[in-house]
Amino acid sequence: MPRSFPLELIRNIAIIAHIDAGKTTTTERILYYTGRTYKIGNVDEGTTVMDFMQQERERGITIKSAATTTSWGNYRINIIDTPGHVDFTAEVERSLRVLDGGVVVLDAVQGVEAQSETVWRQADKYHVPRICFVNKMDRTGANFDRTIQMIKDRLQCIPIIVQLPLGAEEYFEGFIDLLGNKAWRFSNDPDVKPEEVAIPENMLEKVKKARADMIERLGETDDHIMEAYLAGEEISIDEIKAGLRRVTVSNKAVPVFCGSSLKNKGVQALLDGVVDYLPSPLDMPALYAISSETSEKVACAPSDASPFIALAYKVVTDPYMGRLVYLRVYSGTLETGATVMNSTRNKKERIGRIVLMHANHREEINDADTGAIIAILGLKDTFTGDTVCDPVKPMVLETIKFPEPVIQVAVEPKTRADQDKLGEALRKMSDEDPTFKVKYNDETGQMIIAGMGELHLDVIISRMLTEFGVNAKVGNPQVAYKETITQSADVEGRFVRQTGGHGQFGHVEVIFEPLERGKGFEFVEAIKGGIIPRKFIGPTEAGIKEAMLGGILAGYPLVDIKATLHDGSYHDVDSSDIAFKMAGSIALKEGARRAKPILLEPIMKLEIMTPEEFMGDIIGDLNSRRGHIENIDTRAGMSIIHGYIPLASTFGYSTIIRSLTQGRANYSMEFFTYQQVPSNVAEEIVSKGRGNA
């Protein structure tokens, strides 16, 4: 079938930002102006298209990333609206993994906030080109120049201003287009077209300087513009646009727009910026996969004629349609009824139906081509991060890595009728969300659920009741502590059992060493002369890994350990896989005991914005919670406290901070790292952990 949109006219973009910067409001205006919706949804009224979950509408925040497809002029734009709350950072992670560009929405009052930095780093990791939209220019305290300075300082990038605000705060009317030297005034009515007006006399000099600065910044990052600039040539608007596109696609600089999405000002120009400056699938660097047959890197050309390959980036349980798997098609085409290979799990699957998603609405299509973002029914064994490809040419794409949960609670069904429903609900939600983990504690007989924060688990528990009809009792939140070692230990693991007939014999000698924080586990095989047959190496590693799930201080998982298997012995008759697995497990337990184990706790990066008169109370409270203040700055008449705090000290913090500041302060947190627990606190945690065991 011929393509409905040429590949060069496709834009796959994410709307990303800190919570409450206006992502969903901006997306709702985009859908309205592109003709995808006939009525503008409002976050405060719970009428948005993109925030369709009951929990999203009740709380006024985005929880799940929502995908939609729309058109602007001749261009097709696939959009994913992402959450801004750090508890749902996995939604941003997987969206940026499969998209080609991003629109970073910034609050003109707050500037670059904590989660803005986080999503910026996530976009850096995947080399996603971006444009910035300075939103809320109509709000009291809006400061465009300060926001630009914060982009430079906190995001460490080169902003190229393409628009200047026309007025500010209650007098904000529109913007001045620096490329065309034109001023545009907007009405609050979304159906009234923007009006070209004369640039105010008092801004003529500022506009002239800003346009010269724009060309100079562009010249510093683009050779073509630099040559014309040095030669003193007149640089046309088309040449400036082409230069801006080159530096944006190559991640050398970021064009900056301004407006007010809520007041319907500047969104059309932002859409022009999306199609003018953000890349099509053809502009992105070559994508490489690993051939399942040869284990060599293979380039996946973005072409319908290439072999089909796609990445599953999301799984959703739809109450009406069942299990939906979202795919980004990188090359080739896909038709309904086709058989594909899940090369990650080496399983063949059949494509049931193909749909284009518009939030929670579906548009059924018969086929999908390169660059498409689609959802599939019928993929029973495909999960987030899996590669789906042509069975004739199996290849595997790099999967998506997600952060580990840092908080957990125990749940149990209220009635026997809820027992089976609870297990099914938790399984479906853990399929959807890779940062939500479920495990069963054999010692206490409890089901433990773990997530990224209190809000994350609160939403999970709310969904259990509203979506799955499960009534459950929920325990108090618990921190996901970990254990590690602080010195080396060379230990012996020996498992010998003699019974009638064949016995069991496994003997290993392993050196355990601490690794850098966050490195996980490393296994090195240093056996010489075949003193342990190769077939027993794998079981030894498996035994060590299994034993790491429960540490020796208080039963928390062991992390950041290097194990070097360097010696041992075996028996021709009695040695077996299980014997060496047990020997590896025994070695780990003994090694952890000897290597001075310590307890680790999750540390959160904290940003508090408060009126100055409450700063002393907040700092005093932070000190009592083992918090560490890094620095304090001032923004829009408010004090901003930057620091770090143990997760264990943050439960119920929103209530505390409200009471300390008469409800006038707010804060944001994100996971930073694991650090050693102070010895006096560790003793208390260890005694509790042993008591629970």
The mean per-residue pLDDT over the stretch 445-449 comes to: 77
Mean pLDDT of 260-282: 93
Candidate from 192-201, 407-416, 670-679 with smallest mean pLDDT: 407-416
| Whether the predicted pLDDT of 64 surpasses 70 | no
pLDDT score at 48: 58
pLDDT reported for residue 38: 64
Torsion angle, alpha carbons of 229, 231, 233, 237, to 10 = -30
Helix (H) or strand (E) holding 205: helix 204-221
Output the CA–CA distances (angstroms, integers) from residue 28 to 41, 108, 148, 331, 359, in the order listed.
6, 19, 25, 30, 11
3-state secondary structure of 646: strand
Model confidence over 356-404: pLDDT tens digits? 888 767 788 888 999 889 989 888 889 999 999 999 999 999 988 887 7
CA distance 583 to 494: 5
Q: In whole angstroms, what is the distance from residue 92 CA to residue 497 CA?
A: 52
Q: What digits encode the pLDDT tens for the residues 216-238?
A: 999 998 888 888 878 777 888 99
Report how far residue 274's alpha carbon sits from residue 255's, in angstroms, rounded to the nearest whole number: 10
Identify the pLDDT of residue 503.
Answer: 82
The pLDDT of 2-12, averaged and rounded, is 83
Which residues have C-beta within 8 Å of that of residue 431, sequence separation ≥ 6? 315, 317, 323, 383
Rounded to an integer, what distance in angstroms lies between the CA atom of residue 83 and that of residue 15?
9
DSSP letter for 167, please: S
Q: What pLDDT, on the 0 to 100 scale, is given for residue 607?
A: 86
The pTM of this model reads 0.75
CA gap 459, 59 in Å, rounded: 10
Residue 277 has pLDDT above 90, yes or no: yes
Distance CA 6, CA 459 (A): 40
Q: What tens digit of pLDDT does each residue of 522-567 get? A: 999 998 888 899 899 999 999 999 999 888 888 889 999 999 999 9
Confidence at residue 46, expressed as pLDDT on a 0 to 100 scale:
52
Mean pLDDT of the chain: 86
Q: How far is CA 316 from the centre of its chain?
A: 17
Can you tell me the mean pLDDT for 254-275? 93
The mean pLDDT of 26-36, rounded to a whole number, is: 87
> How large a percentage of the chain has pLDDT more than 90?
39
Q: What is residue 115's predicted lDDT score, i.e. its pLDDT?
A: 78
Q: How far apart are CA 559 and CA 548, in angstroms?
A: 7
Of 624 and 669, the structure prediction assigns the larger pLDDT to: 624
Read off the pLDDT of residues 135-184 as tens digits, 9 standing for 90 and up: 999 999 899 999 999 999 888 899 999 999 998 888 999 999 999 899 99
Q: Is the pLDDT of residue 693 over 50?
A: no
104 or 689: which carries more pLDDT confidence?
Answer: 104
Residue 41, pLDDT above cutoff 60? no
| pLDDT (0 to 100) of residue 444 | 58
Residues with Cβ within 8 Å of residue 360, at least 6 apart in sequence = 52, 66, 318
Q: How confident is the model at residue 480, as a pLDDT?
A: 83
Q: Mind listing the pLDDT tens digit for each residue in 233-242?
A: 788 899 999 9
Would you say residue 44 has pLDDT above 60?
Answer: no
Give the contacts of 29 (CB within 8 A, at least 6 positions apart).
Answer: 40, 190, 261, 264, 267
